[in-house]
Amino acid sequence: MNKVIFIGRLSKDAQVRGSSDRPIVAFTLAVNSPMPNGETDTQWFSCSAFNTLAKFLAGVLPKKGTRVLIEGKVKRRTFTDSQGVEKTDMEVIVDHFQFIDPRDPRPDTSATDGGQSAYAHDAQARAPHDIWR
């Protein structure tokens, strides 16, 4: 079985690639793990979302520092860098994306929306702040 679950923060704003009808949303997730000596070890994961989840994320574009929970699978990819050297990288293909600390990304959203963030108002949300592909 190939499944990972992470809680972390976006290290920069999510980026949209691909076309408007088939977007790919890419982001880097910083995940902190406590160490026995009291320090924190931070791991960085490249993540990509596709299909319905990517369309939703392209609409809200999560920002740097947003705390999220993701579920997905790890995939190895090979690419050629700008110097022509072939490299291998691991990335998480995101199947589930959930905002942990919801914040309203739209300044014009009313504060009288029952405590829900604007994220929950976008299409195909199964529950507030909970999006499945």
Question: pLDDT of 4-49, one tens digit each?
Answer: 999 999 999 999 998 878 899 999 999 999 999 999 999 999 999 9
Q: Using CA atoms, how far apart are residues 62 and 25, in angstroms rounded to an integer?
A: 10
pLDDT of residue 20: 79
Q: Using CA atoms, how far apart are residues 15 and 118, in angstroms rounded to an integer?
A: 19
Q: Using CA atoms, how far apart are residues 2 and 10, in angstroms rounded to an integer?
A: 22
DSSP 79-118: EE-TTS-EEEEEEEEEEEEEESS-----TTS-TTSTT--G
pLDDT of residue 19: 85
The type of residue at 28 is: T
Q: What predicted TM-score, i.e. pTM, was given to this entire model? A: 0.72
Question: pLDDT of 70-123, one tens digit each?
Answer: 999 999 989 899 999 999 989 999 999 999 976 555 444 434 334 333 343 333
The type of residue at 104 is: D
